Every structure is written in C-alpha cells, then in structure tokens.
Amino acid sequence: MCNDANGVGGHVGDTEASPLLGNATGQTRTKGCSFGGSVLNLMNAIMGSGILGLAYAMANTGIAGFCILLLIVFCLAAYSIHLLLTLCDQTGINSYEELGGRALKKPGKVLVGITILIQNIGAMSSYLFILKSELPAAIRSVISHNHLNVWYEDGRILLILVALCVVLPLALLPKIEFLSFSSSLSFIFMLYFAVVVIVKKWSIPCPLPHNVTLLEDAFQISNSSDMECQPKAIIISSKSAYAIPTLAFSFLCHTAILPIYCELDRPTKKRMQNVTNIGLSLSFVIYLVSALFGYLTFYGQVESELLLSYDAYIPRDITMMTVRVAILLAVLLTVPLIHFPARKALTMLIFGERPFSWPLHICLTVAILGVVLLLAIFVPDIKNVFGLVGSTTSTCLLCIFPGIFHLKISNKPLRSPVSFGAVFLLVLGLLVGTFSFCVIVVTGAQGS
C-alpha cells in the first residue's frame, strides 16, 4: 500500500494544482504511493457502475463483435495514456491542465480544466444517483419490515448520510495515495461480482424459466429454446449503436493518470507505464469475464443493467443481494477518487498555483460535493443530461486532447508512426464523439 513519510505535513510548500514529482520540480521527494497501491487506484478510476451494462452491450453486438470493440477501446486507451506519459517525460510537466497550457497556451489550460471538472462532476453525480436509486432496494432486500415510510427507504436521506459519513472524509484526504485502501476494497468488490456472475451461469437454466399456463405456450417455448440458448458471434441492429458509447468510455481514467503518476514512489515513465499496463489489463479481463458470462446466462433477454436480470429470475437470492451491496460499495468508493482531479482542476481555474491551504482545500471539497449532491438529489433523470456532456468531455479526454497535445508539443515529424497514431486518435475521437452526441440527442428527442 501507500506510505507517506511526512503524512499531511508533506504538502507544506507544495501547490494544490501543481505536480508533486520532485524530479520535475527540483523538490526533495519523500516516499510516495507503492506500485501496487497505484495499480489499485488506477483500476478504481477505470471501473465503475458501467460494468453492469457490458453484458447488455454484448447481447447487442455478439461475442466476437463485443471482444473486437473492447480490444479496440483498450488499445486506444493504452496508446493515449502512453502519449500523455511520453509528453510528461519530455517536458517535465505532470499535470493534464499544464499540458493543455503548453500545447494551446492559457485557453488550452482553461479548456482542459473545465473539461475535467464537467466530466468528473457528471460522473460523481451519476454514481450518487445510482446510490440514491439502489440503496433503498438493497436495504429492503436484506431487512424485512411491516412499517410504511421508514426513513431508510428514502434514497435522498440515505444519500446525504452516505455522502457525509463516507464520501466527504475520503474526499478530504490531501493525497490520492491515501485512497489506495478504499481502492483495494473496490477492486475486491468488482472481482467478487465477476466471480458470482461466473458461478450463477450454472445456476440458471436455459431456456429461462417462464410462467407457463397453457400447453401450447410450453410447446412454443420448447421450440424456441434452441434459438434462445445459442450465443451469437456478430449482431448488428439499431441497438448496437447504444453499445458503442458504453464501450468507448469504459477505460476512461485519464483525469486520474497524472495525479497517480505524481504520487508514485520512485516515479519514472517506465514504472508508470507498467502501472498503466497492469491496471488496464486487469480491468479488461474483469470486463470481458463479467460481460461474457452475464450474456451466456440470459442471452438475448439480458437487461440493460445486469443485476435486474437476476432479480427477475432469482428474486431475493442471498448471493445476489450481497453482490448488489458490493457493487454499490464499489461505486461509493470510486467517488472520492474522481473528486480529487475535479478539485485540482477547480483550484487551478480559480486560484492558479498557490501553496496548499487546509481552509481552501476543505471549502473546495465541500463545494464540489455539495453541487454533486444537489444534482443527484433534485435532477429527476440525469442519464441524458450527463450522457450528452459525457459524449463530448469523455471523448476529449480519451482521444482528442492526447492527440492534439502530441502534435503541438512533440518534435516528432508528422510522418512518424507515433504522430500518425496521434492523428488517428484525434480523428477517431472526433468521429466517435460526434456519433455519440447525435445518438443521445436523437434518442432523447424521441423519448420526449
């Protein structure tokens, strides 16, 4: 795990919005976050509640189609992070915002900061919205009572309590390395989810059980069973378009990459690249396993949120109750990690670089969490709102910004393979972002 020789006092003389690497700033550096702790923090930044929708994405793209898309996104994420780390090594800059400033002057720095702030506030709000919706159901599945209007069935009350008792204390921690313990818990919860999905594959029969009352219904179900239980390699339909945004942003962790790099013990590009490779690879395996076995359990009848499929066929199953609680805890523990880059970006936008100050640190933490709480509590449906924002900000952080930064900062010739890859990343990001934006706008208009 992470060890800090100076504890909180290690921030004296540092700036809230500046990189922490001694080799980049000339400062004497204390022992930072361990290699394993950095991998766990990175995986916590990558994986969230989106894992619940991957089986549905596979059901609409087919096994081979899903694997190809997931592998493409994995490679794009790995390459874009490689570009960022290379630029950090060349320039001595270890801040996403500062890279934007080097590439596009002050407008670039402000643009990157705003993008990070919007993206991370949107992500935190969506996670807390899930907690508001799912926590009461999770508690009801565990506790049986005969009373109406019990306080713990009000998602808003539960959300406020959880935010004050869990999210706020973790978000107030001054360094991202202190979150490695909560990140390890989040990883265990996600791993537990994947293991249960594998085990339950052999607990639910295929074809899925139906409430059959007529003989001809039973005959029809019998004839369709072969069709229901046959996995498909490639599926192309109108619903396939919805799988692309889900997969495109499943490896988005770029706002946390450089803060994690800044606090890595003995930070070098090669060492951080190894952290990235291991974190992305383990996330890829968990994504693929959970999606595959979730799909092979329900086939074409998988719900957009995988846990809903289990609720329909094995309601009040003790194991699935614990999985629901584990996923909620994993989502909850991800919020403080996403909060860190958002606070760092807000500090840079308002105050620039200034010495660390506990009063400022606390005020900004409370302000951001307050905004996120208000959005999660009072916005009735944040899916389309933040889907619209996410389709633009996520694409910028994943593809567009790394491509632009390399082309503007690096001295590599345009015809070199790495520059060609940066151009490809930039063009692909523009295409995917535009496509996702149009899909969300059209579906939102049709829904209204």
* Mean pLDDT in consecutive groups of 10 residues from the start of the chain, 448 residues: 37 42 46 89 88 90 93 92 93 89 93 93 87 82 68 86 94 87 92 94 77 38 56 81 73 89 89 95 96 92 86 84 90 91 92 87 95 88 63 86 94 89 92 79 65
- pTM for the full predicted model: 0.83
Domain 7-383 part of CATH 3.90.180.10: no
What is the distance between the alpha carbons of residues 360 and 343, in angstroms, rounded to a whole number? 10
Q: Domains of the chain: which residue ranges?
A: 7-383
What is the distance between the alpha carbons of residues 123 and 2, in angstroms, rounded to a whole number? 25
> How much is the pLDDT for 3?
41
Under 8 Å between Cβ of 408 and 112: no
> How much is the pLDDT for 129?
86
Q: What is the 3-state secondary structure (H, E, C) of the chain?
A: CCCCCCHHHHHCCCECCCCCCHHHHCCCCCCCECHHHHHHHHHHHHCCHHHHHHHHHHHCCCHHHHHHHHHHHHHHHHHHHHHHHHHHHHHCCCCHHHHHHHHHHHHHHHHHHHHHHHHHHHHHHHHHHHHHHHHHHHHHHHCCCCCCCCHHHCHHHHHHHHHHHHHHHHHCCCCHHHHHHHHHHHHHHHHHHHHHHHHHCCCCCCCCCCCCCCHHHHHHHHHHHHHHCCCCCCCCCCCHHHHHHHHHCCCCCHHHHHHHHHCECCCCHHHHHHHHHHHHHHHHHHHHHHHHHHHHHHHHHCCCCHHHHHHHHCCCCHHHHHHHHHHHHHHHHHHHHHHHHHHHHHHHHHHCCCECCHHHHHHHHHHHHHHHHHHHHHCCCCHHHHHHHHHHHHHHHHHHHHHHHHHHHCCCCCCCHHHHHHHHHHHHHHHHHHHHHHHHHHHHHHHC
pLDDT tens by residue, 267-285: 889 999 999 999 999 999 9
> How much is the pLDDT for 446?
63
pLDDT tens by residue, 380-429: 766 556 666 666 788 899 899 999 999 999 888 888 999 999 999 999 88
